[in-house]
């Protein structure tokens, strides 16, 4: 009976009675003699009707254009139907079944996953104090669940059409040549740096065992582990607790002529590292730059256009000149494009307009230390698009999720795609996609290595590779998440801003993170009638956006004072980082314990000072030359070393030890290890949750300060 067209008396939904209608049979008879049917209608039902095409008929056809109602399934006894001399193809019936399953999946997800909806979603349950507030998590709706189930029903499984589509969409979003999906951000880092070891590169560019790669001491271990896994030597520079990022002023001290081949740094917690300084350094010595962008998808970095030209960022300049990319732009300084009323380019506002208009592109903020010349132009582009290769992670806490997953971004050199793809896909020389053959048109005409001529190219291996591909089901989820990314980015900025304002006044005891190149956070101006109107406008815009399901309106982000480099960073915050000051009447651990008691998720800055982690301590014991720490050899550091040698009575630290004195070569990383933690900013947080987080911290600090005053 499957695929038969029948007539049946469909019951009305708004009154007693029924109407004679055609229907398509979805099932064979069950033990009770019942059939599953879907109603056929000639009326238009947008979003519900699946149009019947001529090719969907196996036998006969209906006498008018018709559609199948997916939302009106019916189970009915065989005695109540009248067969017609019409039959549909099995493929069409299967597609109807799939639509029904997808529709049911959406309804299930709405019931089961309310707590995973975006924080601003009206369907999100209200927060009650005492409930757990995670630092991060999956944020999704029925759209992602439907996409996953739909892909599962297709049962392609291995990376296929969904993966191919996502790679193209992600590359377009990032403004890069190619993206390769992998099974994690850690795998992405491994593939990225492995690609630079290929024998197909010029000898002076190839990273070989014993070559050095400069990286940062504070961060996540799998930014560094791949350097060791390819046999190279990590050279650690220090980090700043103000940004969480590498202290790029130490790059020169870390450089070894003839040994240094690359720089591999992460944009920490959604805060771009100093790209201008790093790019100048890499250009000077012809080094690779690998951007670990796993925590920073959606961040942008701005630098003078003239500097961008000198650094060879032509790939970004060309995109910006087309004017079609939402994040890659060339613009004049703020104060030369707008007056106080916001006239001029609506996407860039002048300093004078900070309390009178919303800014939809806060990438460029005026320097309080040195105004830009009005003739200067600036280039803004996403992090992960400046170096040679960059990486992404799509683990649940990150800016979008595929469950497990990641990506390698080939920024401007297409040949690197072939090398990276080879390492991802078993090390094979063939570049055919899964399920495809002979795209090179000479599959049996190759002779490589010592193999016989004509050996199948699909089984020729030019590298010692891995299998690090994700599933197509994951890519189906990722494609839906990618559409949400602009909203997710704005939510992260908005949540950081709400926390920062909520904790304003605690600067005596807590150093709050700053965007790279910022020198201070500027508190909001005192509220007046104009700012109250702005706040009301913001709230109304956000409510309208939520009701319509459109992107959230842009939240007015903080103003900062900036250094005189003319470079700016616009953060898509992964977390809200705080470093406890030495004069605080509490420790980082005490604050973390209080947050845990209140069920507020918090984390250290990942591995802290990685050099002090057990794995690296043991590594140094086993091989004292496995890595090294860059120390500036200036008169001051030499003086400190001499003083240490004179005054220390204990044995000289063994090669795997770092001095715990104030002369540690990594004082910034040590400070992060001992005093820093971060809270969540992920888009699943609600305004009420963030207000509660701020209140808990304020109450804790006030209590500790009061106790300290009483004791003194």
Residue positions annotated with a catalytic role:
398
Q: What 3-state DSSP class applies to 681?
A: coil
Closest of 160, 130, 18, 161 to residue 76, by C-alpha: 18
Encoded tokens for 630: 């860059």
CA distance to 287, 341, 366, 478, per residue, from 355 (Å): 44, 10, 14, 37
CB atoms within 10 A of CB 612: 18
Encoded tokens for 369: 């230390």
Encoded tokens for 652: 């000289």
Burial class for 375, CB neighbours closer than 10 Å (0-12, 13-18, 19+) = exposed
- C-beta separation of 163 from 200 below 8 A: no
- C-beta separation of 443 from 429 below 8 A: no
Q: Where are the beta strands (DSSP E) in 267-328?
A: 288-292, 300-304
Whole-angstrom distance, CA of residue 495 vs CA of residue 687 = 8
Q: What 3-state DSSP class applies to 232?
A: coil
| Angle of helix 90-112 versus helix 142-154 axis, rounded to 10 | 150
Which residues are CB-contacts of 129 (< 8 A; sequence separation ≥ 6)? 692
Strand partners, 603: 678
- C-beta separation of 188 from 406 below 8 A: yes
Strand partners, 277: none
* DSSP state for residue 281 in the 8-state scheme: H
CA 453 to centroid of chain Cα atoms: 45
**At residue 256, what are phi and psi to the nearest 5 degrees?**
-125, 115
Which residues are CB-contacts of 46 (< 8 A; sequence separation ≥ 6)? none
- C-beta separation of 165 from 498 below 8 A: no
């Amino acid at each position: 009976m499957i695929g038969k067209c029948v007539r049946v008396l469909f019951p009305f939904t708004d009154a007693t009675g029924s109407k004679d209608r055609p229907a398509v049979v979805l099932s064979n008879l069950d033990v009770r003699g019942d059939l599953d049917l879907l109603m056929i209608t000639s009326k238009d039902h947008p979003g519900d009707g699946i149009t019947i095409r001529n090719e969907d008929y196996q036998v006969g056809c209906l006498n008018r254009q018709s559609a199948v109602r997916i939302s009106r399934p019916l189970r009915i006894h065989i005695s109540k139907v009248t067969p017609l001399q019409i039959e549909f193809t099995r493929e069409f019936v299967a597609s109807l079944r799939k639509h029904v399953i997808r529709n049911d999946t959406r309804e299930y997800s709405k019931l089961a996953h309310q707590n995973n909806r975006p924080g601003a979603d009206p369907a999100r349950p209200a927060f009650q104090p005492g409930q757990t507030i995670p630092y991060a998590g999956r944020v999704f709706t029925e759209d992602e669940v439907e996409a996953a189930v739909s892909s599962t029903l297709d049962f392609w499984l291995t990376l296929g059409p969904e993966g191919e589509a996502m790679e193209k969409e992600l590359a377009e979003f990032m403004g890069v040549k190619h993206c390769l999906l992998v099974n994690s951000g850690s795998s992405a880092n491994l593939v990225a740096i492995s690609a630079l070891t290929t024998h197909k590169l010029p000898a002076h560019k190839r990273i070989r065992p014993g070559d050095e790669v400069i990286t940062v001491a504070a961060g996540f271990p799998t930014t560094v582990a791949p350097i060791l896994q390819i046999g190279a030597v990590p050279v650690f520079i220090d980090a700043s607790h103000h940004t969480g990022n590498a202290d790029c002023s130490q790059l020169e001290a870390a450089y070894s002529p003839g040994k240094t081949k690359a720089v591999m740094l992460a944009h920490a917690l959604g805060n771009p590292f100093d790209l201008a300084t790093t790019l100048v350094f890499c250009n000077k010595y012809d080094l690779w730059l690998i951007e670990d962008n796993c925590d920073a998808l959606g961040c942008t970095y701005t630098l003078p256009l003239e500097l961008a030209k000198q650094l060879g960022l032509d790939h970004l300049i060309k995109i910006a000149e087309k004017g079609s990319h939402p994040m890659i732009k060339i613009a004049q300084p703020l104060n030369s494009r707008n007056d106080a009323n916001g006239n001029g380019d609506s996407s860039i506002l002048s300093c004078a307009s900070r309390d009178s208009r919303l800014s939809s592109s806060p990438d460029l903020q005026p320097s309080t230390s040195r105004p830009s010349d009005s003739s200067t132009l600036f280039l803004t582009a996403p992090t992960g698009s400046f170096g040679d290769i960059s990486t992404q992670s799509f683990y649940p806490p990150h800016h979008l999720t595929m469950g497990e997953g990641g990506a390698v971004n080939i920024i401007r050199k297409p040949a690197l795609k072939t090398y990276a793809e080879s390492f991802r896909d078993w090390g094979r020389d063939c570049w055919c996609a899964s399920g495809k053959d002979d795209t090179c048109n000479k599959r049996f005409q190759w002779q490589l290595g010592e193999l016989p001529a004509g050996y199948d190219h699909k089984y020729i291996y030019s590298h010692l590779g891995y299998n690090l591909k994700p599933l197509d089901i994951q890519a189906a989820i990722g494609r839906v998440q990618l559409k949400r990314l602009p909203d997710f980015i704005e939510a992260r900025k908005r949540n950081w801003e709400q926390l920062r304002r909520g904790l304003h006044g605690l600067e005596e005891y807590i150093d709050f993170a700053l965007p790279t190149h910022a020198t201070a956070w500027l508190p909001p101006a005192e509220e007046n009638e104009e700012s109250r109107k702005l706040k009301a406008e913001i709230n109304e815009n956000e409510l309208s956006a939520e009701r319509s399901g459109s992107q959230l309106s842009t939240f007015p982000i903080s103003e900062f004072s900036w250094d005189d480099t003319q470079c700016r960073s616009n953060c898509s915050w992964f977390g809200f980082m705080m470093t406890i000051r030495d004069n605080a009447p509490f420790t980082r651990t005490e604050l973390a314990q209080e947050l845990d008691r209140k069920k507020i998720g918090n984390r250290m800055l990942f591995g802290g000072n990685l050099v002090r982690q057990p794995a690296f301590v043991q590594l140094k014991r086993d091989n004292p030359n496995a890595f090294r720490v860059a120390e500036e050899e200036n008169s001051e550091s030499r003086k400190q070393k001499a003083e240490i040698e004179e005054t220390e009575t204990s044995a000289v630290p063994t090669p795997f030890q770092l001095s715990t004195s104030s002369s540690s070569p990594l004082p910034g990383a040590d400070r992060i290890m001992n005093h820093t933690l971060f809270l969540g900013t992920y888009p699943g947080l609600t305004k009420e949750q963030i207000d509660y987080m701020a209140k808990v911290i304020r109450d804790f600090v006030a209590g500790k300060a009061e106790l300290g005053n009483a004791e003194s």
